[in-house]
Amino acid sequence: MFVDLIEVRRALESEEIVPCFQPLVELRTGRLAGFEVLARWQHPELGLILPENFISLAEQNGLIGSLAHQIVRNAFMSAKMLPEPLVLAVNFSPVQLHHLSLPSQIRREADETGFPLERLIVEITESALVNNLERAQKIAAELKTMGCRLALDDFGTGYSSLRHLQALPFDELKIDRNFVQSMTNKRESRKIAAAMVGLGHSLGMITLAEGVETEEQADILLWLGCEFGQGWLYGYPLPADRIPDMVAAAPRALSTRFSAPGGGVAFSSLEALPAQHLAQLQAIYDGTPVGLCFLDKNLRHVSLNQRLADLNGFPVAAHIRRTVHEMIPELFPQIQPFLLRALQGEAIEGVEVSKPPRTPGKPDLTLLLSYQPAFDEVQEVIGVSIAILDITKRKQAEEALRESEENHRYLVELSPQILWIADANGNLTEISSRWVQLTGMSKLQTLNLGWLEALHPEDAPHTLKALREASHTGKPFHSEYRVKTADGKWTWMRSRGSPRYGPSGEIIRWYGDTEDIEERKELEEALRKSRQGK
Ligand code: G
Ligand code: G
Ligand code: MN
């Protein structure tokens, strides 16, 4: 499209060049943070003309000052209806950054229209800084004193130089839409976008991504830690009369970082500056009773906490850059297969490993390990984090318990008495295997009231009666009866049992023993006979 200088002059006189407003949105919440002001020329015959067709013409012919004056005044007037704390971001031409009068012009327009400068973001492209950095610095300093915030526009294109990032007190970094748009199919772009966000953050700036058109792009940006977005996904640049619609359509930003009082980067109370954030994480890292470390793809220690250093018996610093194999050669063969799986992207939990003690003579340590792969922004594994829990004590307790259980079992099995357990109603639930050997009945046949089958028909009724009575009254059970042994003989036995009570005084179980009293019976018989014989 061709327009000439005369046309541009005429457009300025008849105020055909007007500001449009494009939403700036907080990525995490979708809340509206403000608008970027973009110049649009409503040509009576040619229709809408974009800035690329008239900005440079205006710049080259000394008209950019009056164009900016029109756009800014117009935008400030329209922004009166903008609810707090929404901001306005306005583009200024590199040419204007050469005029020391820029700040006072902006102040005058703000005063005349009543727009607060704390809610103005001045967007500057890098090309503005190339020729006259010193002057740009003066202007920037004054703008900051006035309460404005500064954004570095189109970062990553054109004159990109890291020198500019530190030359001016920027509050915000705008990532150029070229990186955003190639991010979804070019891993390099994604890496670059990630690095830009990181760079912005490490310099204490907030980051905004331009040209966000899809949800996928927004998701990636959010994942990369980018705070704000702008693009067709959230809204087109629209004329001032559409501002109320756009404000109503988006959830309101009540407290975004854009709206921080006094300008600059203010983080909400729950968040912190990157360095503080790191310190918080380090405190958690070191305070946990779990050994933690992060290994790179070559299984070298990138970081670890004090707890793990203690477990391994070397200072934290001695681990850094050294491989697992170098640090714990005795354990490496056990954990290598899991490390390799984790490097393939698999998360593995609860692997038990035993580690020889550091001081000889002490028992082995038992460790419970979890492996978690870490992925970068292109979903490639960059390393593995390991969590290590020392479960030696728990293991020892389990061992001791098992041992004491075993001892009890031997005690029971070796005892000449047959020990038994019955439920509250006197139904047998457990009996030592000596009964099985004695009677030839199986355990299953014996349980409940099955054992009565082995009793002499004359003895079974009174025994069952005693049992019922005991379970009814809770008085100790006692009975003597003949039992048919495996080889078909009868032998006298005596059974006794006592109840065990539950918390509310009810019987919950009976414990008892049965013993062979044949010899005693024979003795008694012999005694009786000898008495009779006398
Ligand atoms: O959306 P659009 O095509 O309008 O933006 C194209 C470029 O024009 C942007 O990079 C922006 O920096 C620039 N631009 C838009 N509006 C203005 C303005 O009011 N003043 C100046 N100097 N540049 C503008
Ligand atoms: O000042 P700056 O160069 O950032 O201007 C932003 C430019 O990007 C304007 O020309 C604007 O119209 C354009 N733009 C805004 N959102 C989108 C988008 O989602 N996709 C594309 N392709 N361009 C956009
Ligand atoms: Mn811009």
Residue 231 CB less than 6 A away from ligand 2: yes
8-state DSSP, 133:
H
pLDDT digits over 322-333, tens only? Answer: 999 999 999 999
**Per the domain annotation, does 186 fall within a domain?**
yes
Q: Identify whether 210 is a catalytic site residue.
A: yes
Q: Residue 503: which residues within 8 A CB-CB, separation 6 or more?
A: none
Instruction: Indicate the angle between helix axes 64-78 and 5-13, nearest 10 degrees.
Output: 30
pLDDT digits over 475-511, tens only? Answer: 999 999 999 999 999 999 999 999 999 888 899 999 9
pLDDT digits over 125-179, tens only? Answer: 877 777 788 999 999 999 999 999 999 998 888 666 677 888 889 999 999 999 9
308 and 181 share a domain? no
83 and 229 share a domain? yes
pLDDT digits over 20-61, tens only? Answer: 999 999 998 889 999 999 999 999 999 999 999 999 999 999
**Per the domain annotation, does 253 fall within a domain?**
no
| 313-318 average pLDDT score | 94
Residue of 21, 55, 72, 122 with the most ligand 1 atoms within 8 Å of its CB, for mutation? 55
CA distance 129 to 62: 19
- For ligand 2, atom 5, name the residue with the nearest CA: 38
- The domain that holds 25 is classified in CATH as 3.20.20.450
Contact indicator for 155, 173 with CB cutoff of 8 Å: yes
Q: Which residues pair with 208 in a beta bridge?
A: 174, 228
**Per the domain annotation, does 409 fall within a domain?**
no
136 and 244 share a domain? yes
Residue 154 CB less than 6 A away from ligand 2: yes
CA distance 490 to 482: 6
- For ligand 2, atom 20, name the residue with the nearest CA: 211
CA distance 451 to 514: 12
Q: Which ligand is nearest to the CA of 22?
A: 2
**Positive or negative: CA dihedral 343, 348, 349, 352:** negative
8-state DSSP, 442:
-
Q: Write out the two tokens for 524.
A: 């008694």
CA distance 513 to 431: 9
How far is ligand 2, taken at its centre, from the CA of residue 230, in Å? Answer: 8
C-alpha distances in Å from residue 95, one per residue of 62, 63, 122, 319? 9, 11, 14, 55
Q: Which residues pair with 348 in a beta bridge?
A: 371
Q: Which ligand is nearest to the CA of 19?
A: 1
- The domain that holds 491 is classified in CATH as 3.30.450.20
297 and 227 share a domain? no
- For ligand 1, atom 12, name the residue with the nearest CA: 91
- State how beta strands 172-175 and 301-304 pair: unpaired
pLDDT of 3 above 80: yes
Q: CB count, 10 Å around CB of 131?
A: 12
Active-site option among 36, 109, 172, 210 = 210
25 and 128 share a domain? yes
Q: Which ligand is nearest to the CA of 121?
A: 3
- Residue-level pLDDT at 1: 61
Q: Which residues pair with 383 in a beta bridge?
A: 296, 374
CA distance 516 to 494: 7
pLDDT of 257 above 70: no
**Per the domain annotation, does 342 fall within a domain?**
yes
pLDDT digits over 331-355, tens only? Answer: 999 999 999 999 999 999 999 999 8
The structural domain count of the chain equals 3
Atom of ligand 1 nearest to the CA of 38: 16
How far is ligand 2, taken at its centre, from the CA of residue 416, in Å? Answer: 94
Domain housing 518: 415-526
How far is ligand 2, taken at its centre, from the CA of residue 356, in Å? Answer: 63
C-alpha distances in Å from residue 456, one per residue of 388, 418, 494, 523, 525? 63, 18, 13, 20, 18
